[in-house]
Structures are given as structure tokens and as C-alpha cells.
Structure 1
Amino acid sequence: MSKVTRATQLLAKAGVAFSVHTYAYDPTAERIGMQAAEALGAAPDRVLKTLMVLVDGKPACAIIPSDHEVSMKRLAAALGSKAAQMMTPADAERITGYKVGGISPFGQKRAIQTVIEMQALEHDLVYINGGQRGLQVRLDPADAVSVLNAVAAPLVA
């Protein structure tokens, strides 16, 4: 497994302090984010999952703790929109350039609106997918917000 991805390159170029962590990715896991947390020995609320969504028909990215589900109403409201829905896996892969299970909010093919669950900002460090299955980057969530030009909002039900 390469520890250099578009995601890690973007973070390094932006001067963000981060560390790379690998684990044995299980493609059969029912909840990939929870499997990552367990494999890393990290609290599930510190391992954030990247969800690709459509908000009023436009691609967006939601980053939430792996032990929660996103509220589509809250997500839409955070972006000043009316409706949100999950993107199909095929569309998520096409738009991001990453494989499902390895989708990172960093280094996607093009910049899209991103919202991060504001509870994540209460932690000093969080894990976010590093652009490859079984690869996570650990960083300050405030740095993630800054690099992604993300909005922090309540997203979980």
C-alpha cells in the first residue's frame, strides 16, 4: 500500500501537520468507518467517515463521526439548500477519483462544498480517510476545515 496519495500530497503542500495510519481494510464490513476505528484502536467519534451526497442535485461532501448517521435535513440546511440524498457509489467514485471505502475529502478531482460535523472540532486530533482503502490521516480537525474550506455544522441525527 502506498502511503502517498492525492490526499496526502494536498495536505503536505498545504503545510498541514498530519500522520499516516494504515490498517487491514475489510471490504465485507457492515460499517466501514466502525471497522476502521476498531482496527486503529481509536474512539469511533474520532474516526470520521466521508460521505458523498447530492444537495439540491449538486455534489457535496459530508464528514461525520463513524458511529453516527447523517441527517439529510441538517446537511441540506447547513448548505442553505432544500434537499440532500446519498450519491450512488459509482457517481461518488467518478466525481472524487477514489474508490468507495477509500474516498477522502482531500485531493478530490475538483473542489466541492464540504460540511463537517461540528462535534468533530471538539477533538484535538481526528482520523479521516487518506485516499486509499486502509489508509487514514490523523490531523487537527480545524486544519481539515481550513484546507477544505468546509462549513462546520450539526449534521448528525
Structure 2
Amino acid sequence: MSIERVRDYFRQYGMEGRIREVDASSATVETAAAAFGCEPKRIAKTLSFCAGEDIILVVTAGDMKIDNKKYKSRFGCKAQMLKAEEVEPIVGHGVGGVCPFGINDGIDVYMDVSLKRFDTVFPAAGSSNSMIELGIDELEQYGGSSGWVDVCRER
């Protein structure tokens, strides 16, 4: 189970106890915000893309969406999300639980600048009913960030 993979990942830092699970689904921004009692914009959603031969994840604020022009300017190709059935085998977490923690090797993770306006955010933790609250520096560090990008706009 993917949440166990994330727990194992955070265990090396003594942070596995910070992962929270709920009985309800937190697979969408709205359901996650309701389940964990925060504003939807503070949900750090992780989007999975195929960029040529590369797989990349973009972690962005819950009130943002990919801006195709900015994405193409930054990554040199059109934004092409992975198909739902491809996400788990390629990334290591299924749709609704995708996060940058405990992912498969060879995937670059980028943090969108939209996250920088918050002290803490709530990314998923490997399942559609889990999350972990992290400071922005923690998200960058533990999320294995390859850098900050500006590839989103408001929904």
C-alpha cells in the first residue's frame, strides 16, 4: 500500500507520526480541505506529467492549475498529464494519493511558486485519505525538489 511507502520514507526522519488519515476521501482538493479542516488553496496537489522521455511531478497550491504557455516555456513541451492508469506504476502512488514522498526513482519534482505564500501546506501521503502538514521548507526538502517553477495560474 502506498501510504506505507510514505510512512517508511518519513520514518527515516522520525516524522511518520505526522501523517494523518481520515475515514473520508481526500482525493480532491475540496474533499481534502474538508477532511483536514484547511482552506482548499493550502492543499498541495501533486500533478504527474510526461515531458518527452522524462516523468515530472509539479506540486502546486490547491487553487491553481497548469498554465500551458508557462509550462511549455519552462519544460519545452506541451503539458501532458499521465493517464490515470499509468500514474501508480510509473510514480509509485495512485491518483488521489500522489505526493512527492517515497516515489519511484528517476522522477523530477518541481514546486510551483504558488506554494510560497503559505507557512504550511497539506500534501497527500500516498493514499486517497491521508495527508501530512509541512512547512514550505520541509516540503521542498522532503519532497526532493529539483527547484521552484512558475507554471500555474489561478483556477
Give the TM bin, normalised by the shorter chain: 0.7 to 0.9
| 2:59 alignment partner AA | I
Question: Match of 1:109?
Answer: 104
Question: Match of 1:150?
Answer: 146
Structure 1: runs of 5+ lacking an equivalent: none
TM-score by length of 2: 0.83
Tell whether 2:91 aligns with 1:96.
yes
Question: Match of 1:7?
Answer: 6
Identity of aligned residues (%): 20
Tell whether 2:18 aligns with 1:23.
no
- Provide the C-alpha distance between the structure 2 equivalents of 1:13 and 1:77, rounded to a whole number of angstroms: 37
* Cα separation, partners in 2 of 1:95 and 1:60, compared to 1, 3 Å: same
Question: Match of 1:74?
Answer: 70
- Provide the C-alpha distance between the structure 1 equivalents of 2:93 and 2:2, rounded to a whole number of angstroms: 15
Deviation at 1:122, TM superposition (A): 2.5
Question: Match of 2:49?
Answer: 53
TM-score by length of 1: 0.82
Tell whether 2:124 aligns with 1:129.
yes
Deviation at 1:18, TM superposition (A): 7.5
* Cα separation, partners in 2 of 1:117 and 1:130, compared to 1, 3 Å: same
Deviation at 1:14, TM superposition (A): 4.2
Question: 3-state DSSP class of the match of 1:75?
Answer: helix
- Provide the C-alpha distance between the structure 2 equivalents of 1:76 and 1:154, rounded to a whole number of angstroms: 11
Deviation at 1:15, TM superposition (A): 5.8
Contact 2:93 2:127 in 1 (8 A): yes
- Provide the C-alpha distance between the structure 2 equivalents of 1:54 and 1:130, rounded to a whole number of angstroms: 22
Contact 2:91 2:107 in 1 (8 A): no
Structure 2: runs of 5+ lacking an equivalent: none
Contact 1:17 1:139 in 2 (8 A): no
Tell whether 2:32 aligns with 1:36.
yes
Deviation at 1:134, TM superposition (A): 0.4
